[in-house]
Amino acid sequence: MRESGRIVAEVLSLVAGHVRPGITTLELDRLAEEYIRSRDAVPAFKGYGPRPNPFPATLCVSVDSVVVHGIPGRRALKEGEMLSVDVGVKKNGFFGDGAWTFAVGEVTEEKQRLMRVTEESLTIGIAQAVVGNRVHDISSAVQQYVEANGFSVVRDLCGHGVGKKLHEDPSVPNFGERGTGAKIQEGMTLAIEPMVNAGGWRVVMEQDGWTVRTADGRPSAHYEHTVAVVNGKPEILTTV
């Protein structure tokens, strides 16, 4: 899983170097797929999900009010937009999963703060992934930090276990009550992923069956790491 996670981090770093006004999300998707396959790995999202509507691409690319699962296309990115990129990788039978949000050129102060708070909430949540805690200790830490900063956590989507499957138990919501949920145990591997809205927490699904957007049209940010509990403490696997 360290190897799969490292490739995830490398893809996000590659994408970061190409995010700019004028590039299409489809171009970013092709760059990502080529890189993953060059590492003798497989894009985990492409073809994932129920027939007859599996996810068609390597990356989930979500612009501004799209929370997650945006489908790459020929629309060019514009100055001032915010782009969340989610990528999964499978190598040697194990998965890594990670996401990051990027500014396209110069963005508003609100978007800057939304990205900063969401990234910080991920760090705060990961710190709770220690043996002896419970999963909702992660959830509560994320929720409290986000709401204290005037934003809201998405409640209809959550993080998850990850390993030999892309999505495994337990679920890792971004809201909850401390001291509840599954016990965190040595060797547990979790995808922790705050999805944070500038406005309300409610979301809607678009007709394509994948794209999830904020109900109020306000922007949303998304950050995710795959984390392993090693020697009682969290180790981030999706890093270089």
> pLDDT (tens digit, 9 = 90+) per residue, 189-199?
999 999 999 99
Tell me the CATH number at 192. 3.90.230.10
The whole-number pLDDT of residue 98 equals: 98
Using one digit for the tens of pLDDT, what is the confidence trace for 195-214? 999 999 999 999 999 999 99
pLDDT for res 79: 98
Band (240; pLDDT cuts 50, 70, 90):
confident
| Secondary structure E strands in the chain | 42-43, 59-63, 66-68, 82-91, 94-103, 152-153, 159-161, 168-172, 189-192, 195-197, 203-205, 212-214, 220-222, 225-230, 233-236
| pLDDT for residue 203 | 98
Number of domains in the chain: 1
Distance CA 40, CA 42 (A): 7
Q: Whole domain around residue 232: which residue ranges? A: 2-236
- Provide CB contacts within 8 A for 63, sequence distance 6+: 25, 70, 77, 81, 82, 83, 84
pTM above 0.95, yes or no: yes
Q: Are 192 and 138 in contact (CB under 8 A)?
A: yes
pLDDT digits 0-9 by tens, 50-78: 999 999 999 999 999 999 999 999 999 99
